[in-house]
A and B are shown apart, each in its own frame.
Chain A
Amino acid sequence: MSTTNNSFCREAIRRTMAHHAGVSPDADAIAEATFIIWNLVEGKLAPVIGMKGVDVLFRRSMHLTTFSFPWLASAEVHTDNASLFASIKARLASGETDASTEAGCTFLLILTELLTTLIGESLTWRLLGTVWKFPSPNSEQENVS
């Protein structure tokens, strides 16, 4: 993914997170929002690549996210994804709001990048495009003014 697209994607994820977490969210709201977005992603991908494929993508993305956010990693071995989800959600909810926001956004970004390396940018955006809240074309101008 190119630098420009990476920042565009990061911004889209941030906006999506803000949309689902609400105004002045706490860590609990961020954890909830992260998993709402994840469920939307899952809903888009599972019909195409199957639940097994989605589960593997989740585990790999979360594994990569823990390099930057070691506190997300769990010492327990989770054989099923449901318990892994629950564990990560609890960790996000108990963290600092800013750190949890960063960790949640990074996880979603890594997931998108992982999918991009496998099936390409175009197809990734084709499949997941409706999940994200894109910056409006005028937002930069708005910011400048």
Chain B
Amino acid sequence: MKKVNIRRLATGVPGLDAILGGGLPEFSFNLISGAPGSGKTTLAHQIMFSLASREGPALFFTVLGEPPLKMLRYQQQFSFFDMDKINESIHFINLSDSFIAGNFDHVLSRITKEVEAASPDLVFVDSFRSVMLDVQHQTRNMLSQQQFIQQLGIQLSCWQATTFLIGEYFSENDPHPVFTVADGLLSLSQNVHRNSMVRKMQILKMRGQSTRPGMHTFRITSDGIEVYPAALIRDDSSLSRASGGLERSKERLTMGVPRLDDMLGGGLPSGYSLLVAGPSGSGKTILATAFLVEGIRCGEPGVIVAFEQTPSQSWNPTIDTMVRAGQIGLINIRSLDLSMDEIVQNMISLIHKMKAVRVVIDSLSGFELSVAPSFREDFRESLLRMVAVLARLGVTVLMTSELEDRFSDLRFSPDGSAFLTDAIIVQRYIEIESCLQRVMSVVKVRDSAHSHEIRRFNITGDGIVIGDRILGYEGLLAGQPTKKNVTNPVS
């Protein structure tokens, strides 16, 4: 005897199926809850317009919530609102008259009547909370809330309809009967912090399938809702070579800067994440640009996520030209209210689209500023998740980090995130004979021999030119080196 095979419906909301654990179970009884303005009705409409068809129509019952005229007025601003589906595969039915005239029995019998007449695949009841509140004030309601919900759930599931109750305030401390009856609970929230607003979605419950835990950010645009599933760090330890699990290639990528490959021990190992840290103007972006140019030369497409400069503002038009030629993908971020997951999702999409091998993030400092203030507290953790996700994609990542020169200590990142990366190059300014000079050193290449020298370098019209090791001076990292021996000039 075969077990029941529950079909999962693709919701049509980007990112939602992933956090639901593969889509929405057919014939499930779901609750969409959240404060006013959190996007409940928009989410319901987007799902409805995506799934409704002539063969599987949808009924959208409006009760006592948002007035239907207003709902129709505003919802048609979204691109998913397909006018051709109205009264064809989507039917709006207002129940406020039935409700005002009677009680729960009337509402239930009206819904039942309409469902039996239309045999819909999808049923939406908006707004459920207002029904509940109103009924609390009725003294002679024939059905209790719980009975109503249970009967509605049974009725609609048996009538083979996937159902959504759209509610308002449901707190976790409020043991509402619908929590027990519902197969799925989708909770939406919005938080304003300083000048940024962050929307989040959580799947509190989805019977019979493993959902992605935690809060997931989402955005509402003219195309509707897009969910950015929080990146997961997966345990790869059990993945064997035979099963095609993660195994880093032994190949190395050339950096596009003469002598730097030697300093790294033969290039940057493929799949590694490299942090280039240095003060403003030290040449981090130039190094990153050279890395991408070299990738194009080697047939390795790249993606750059720029948080500070626009391509036309960069040191030369190289990046701009490559972007225009479609050789590299660009994500240019100027917003200050993003979530890490939104950026990561955009990055992943572009990496897939470009079939990118090399990824540049310029810079982590700009990245941190671009995320909404509420995410900055967890920036290091989010960074760890991002690096893990990129590692699973197999791309080689170069990240720059603005680092104020501190000559009292040796630091590689402002927030102590350097340990997340596989390799580190540090750039610094030093003063020699009243001249500001740049030096560079490879601090770390995981599981690889590498140079430990501090090399002088210049930025010329041809890019970065790495010179020799500075001999005869000590205290280079203190910024003001002193000659060890007069007979040993600077080489």
Main secondary structure of the interface of A (DSSP, over half): helix
Q: Do the beta carbons of B69 and A123 come within 8 Å of each other?
A: no
Contact mask A94-123 → B, CB, 8 Å, 1/0?
Answer: 000000000000000000000000111011
Q: Do the beta carbons of A50 and B96 come within 8 Å of each other?
A: yes
Given contacts A49-B68, A50-B68, A126-B83, contact A119 B73 (CB under 8 A): yes
The smallest C-beta distance from B196 to any residue of chain A, in angstroms, reads 32
B interface, CB within 8 angstroms of A: 62, 67-69, 72-73, 76, 83, 86-87, 92-97
Q: Which residues of B contact A86 (CB under 8 A)?
A: none
A137–B407 Cα distance when bound, in Å, is 84
Main secondary structure of the interface of B (DSSP, over half): mixed
A53–B92 Cα distance when bound, in Å, is 14
Asked if A40 is at the interface (CB within 8 A of a chain B CB), the reply is no
Q: Which residues of B contact A122 (CB under 8 A)?
A: 76, 83
A51–B96 Cα distance when bound, in Å, is 8
Q: Which one, B62, B67, B73, B87, contacts A127 given CB within 8 A?
A: B87
Asked if A48 is at the interface (CB within 8 A of a chain B CB), the reply is yes
- Smallest CB-CB A-B distances: 6 pairs: A50-B94, A49-B68, A50-B96, A48-B92, A122-B83, A119-B72
Given contacts A119-B69, A120-B73, contact A47 B94 (CB under 8 A): yes
Q: Which one, B68, B76, B86, B93, contacts A53 given CB within 8 A?
A: B68
Q: Do the beta carbons of B72 and A53 come within 8 Å of each other?
A: no
Given contacts A53-B94, A122-B83, A123-B83, contact A48 B73 (CB under 8 A): no
Q: Do the beta carbons of B93 and A126 come within 8 Å of each other?
A: no
Given contacts A49-B68, A50-B94, contact A118 B86 (CB under 8 A): no
Given contacts A50-B62, A50-B94, A50-B96, contact A118 B83 (CB under 8 A): no
Q: Which one, B76, B83, B94, contacts A49 given CB within 8 A?
A: B94
Q: Which residues of A contact B73 (CB under 8 A)?
A: 118-120
Asked if A46 is at the interface (CB within 8 A of a chain B CB), the reply is yes
Q: Do the beta carbons of A123 and B94 come within 8 Å of each other?
A: no
A133–B296 Cα distance when bound, in Å, is 65
The smallest C-beta distance from A58 to any residue of chain B, in angstroms, reads 13
The smallest C-beta distance from A44 to any residue of chain B, in angstroms, reads 9
Interface size counted on chain A using CB atoms at 8 A: 15
Q: Which residues of B contact A123 (CB under 8 A)?
A: 72, 76, 83, 86
Contact mask A41-62 → B, CB, 8 Å, 1/0?
Answer: 0000011111111000000000
List the A residue with the shortest CB-CB distance to B60: A48
Other than the given A49-B72, A50-B68, 8 more pairs (CB < 8 A) read A46-B94, A46-B97, A47-B94, A48-B92, A50-B95, A50-B97, A119-B72, A120-B73
A46–B94 Cα distance when bound, in Å, is 7
Q: Which residues of B contact A120 (CB under 8 A)?
A: 73, 76
Q: Which residues of B contact A51 (CB under 8 A)?
A: 97
A64–B101 Cα distance when bound, in Å, is 30
The smallest C-beta distance from B118 to any residue of chain A, in angstroms, reads 12
Q: Do the beta carbons of A126 and B69 come within 8 Å of each other?
A: no
Q: Which residues of A contact B67 (CB under 8 A)?
A: 49, 53
The smallest C-beta distance from A79 to any residue of chain B, in angstroms, reads 17
A126–B89 Cα distance when bound, in Å, is 13
Q: Do the beta carbons of B86 and A126 come within 8 Å of each other?
A: yes
The smallest C-beta distance from B81 to any residue of chain A, in angstroms, reads 9
Q: Which residues of B contact A119 (CB under 8 A)?
A: 69, 72-73, 76
List the A residue with the shortest CB-CB distance to B114: A47
Q: Do the beta carbons of A127 and B86 come within 8 Å of each other?
A: yes
A47–B72 Cα distance when bound, in Å, is 14
List the B residue with the shortest CB-CB distance to A44: B87
The smallest C-beta distance from B65 to any residue of chain A, in angstroms, reads 12
The smallest C-beta distance from A115 to any residue of chain B, in angstroms, reads 8
List the A residue with the shortest CB-CB distance to B68: A49
The smallest C-beta distance from A124 to any residue of chain B, in angstroms, reads 10
Given contacts A52-B96, A52-B97, A123-B76, contact A118 B87 (CB under 8 A): no
A residues 46-100 touching B (CB-CB < 8 Å) = 46-53
The smallest C-beta distance from A90 to any residue of chain B, in angstroms, reads 27
Q: Which one, B83, B86, B93, contacts A47 given CB within 8 A?
A: B93
Q: Which residues of B contact A46 (CB under 8 A)?
A: 94, 97
A52–B96 Cα distance when bound, in Å, is 8
The smallest C-beta distance from B79 to any residue of chain A, in angstroms, reads 14
Q: Which residues of A contact B95 (CB under 8 A)?
A: 50
Q: Which residues of B contact A52 (CB under 8 A)?
A: 96-97
A31–B307 Cα distance when bound, in Å, is 68
The smallest C-beta distance from A2 to any residue of chain B, in angstroms, reads 17
A49–B96 Cα distance when bound, in Å, is 9
A126–B72 Cα distance when bound, in Å, is 12
A47–B69 Cα distance when bound, in Å, is 12
Q: Which residues of A contact B87 (CB under 8 A)?
A: 126-127
The smallest C-beta distance from A129 to any residue of chain B, in angstroms, reads 9
Q: Do the beta carbons of A48 and B94 come within 8 Å of each other?
A: yes
A99–B87 Cα distance when bound, in Å, is 36
User: Which of A118, A119, A120 is packed against the most chain B CB atoms within 10 Å?
Assistant: A119
A47–B98 Cα distance when bound, in Å, is 11
Contact mask A22-47 → B, CB, 8 Å, 1/0?
Answer: 00000000000000000000000011
Q: Which residues of B contact A49 (CB under 8 A)?
A: 67-69, 72, 94
